[in-house]
Amino acid sequence: MNRKAHWERIYKDKLPTEVSWYQTEPELSLALIGRTGVGPTAPVIDVGGGASVLVDRLLAAGFANLAVLDISGSAIEHARTRLGQLADRVEWYEADVTAFAPPHPFQLWHDRAVFHFLTDKEDRKRYVGTLKEALVPDGHVIIAAFAIGGPRKCSGLEIVQYDAARLCEELGGEFELLEAHDEMHITPGHAEQKFSFFRLMRKGR
């Protein structure tokens, strides 16, 4: 499967408000970001951020060093159009996270609903490699994925469900789990999707 072609088709066939993972307000993500204690000048990257409104909310909260990474240029264009001139205050990267070369270090890595699509073990290893290359020592990680007992597929693709033990095994010993929360996401079609959110910190070197 060509991952990029798949996601470009999704965002060309549907509005951002019609995809199953759309949130009007990313409340849990914002709460977890707040609990990291990172300041408004901290470099933050939203992985798979695409058309998500998280970047809008972070800009409104005064964050000044934001980056959004997404495999779909169409998703990014939706966000840029929505933000208008504010889009110029964000770094936009159109790339597959498993092949992304971080341009500079980040203090916070946020990923809602990318990691669970990586069903191939080697892709997961490449994702973790990118994460380690991007994140500073003592940096923060927030990953949200379909929970155990949640959906088995999304957008026609197989996924991997996660609990804390499974996620920590994938990320390895450099990361310390600080908290985990379940969230029942209600899709635009009014279906329930069980997510788990994990906040971790990279251990200092």
Residues 6+ apart with CB under 8 A from 115: 124, 127, 143, 145, 160, 162, 167, 170
Per the DSSP assignment, residues forming a β-bridge with 51 are none
- Predicted TM-score (pTM) of the model is 0.92
Indicate the fold that domain 3-202 takes in CATH.
Rossmann fold (3.40.50)
Domain boundaries, the chain: 3-202
Write down the pLDDT at residue 1: 59
Q: pLDDT for 70-118, tens place per residue?
A: 999 999 999 999 999 999 999 999 999 999 999 999 999 999 989 999 9
CA distance 177 to 169: 11
Q: pLDDT for 135-180, tens place per residue?
A: 999 999 999 999 998 888 777 778 899 999 999 999 999 999 999 9
Selection from 170, 19, 182, 44 nearest residue 110 by Cα: 44
Write down the pLDDT at residue 6: 78
Contact 92, 129 (CB under 8 A): no
Residues 6+ apart with CB under 8 A from 200: 140, 141, 142, 143, 168, 171, 175, 176, 177, 178
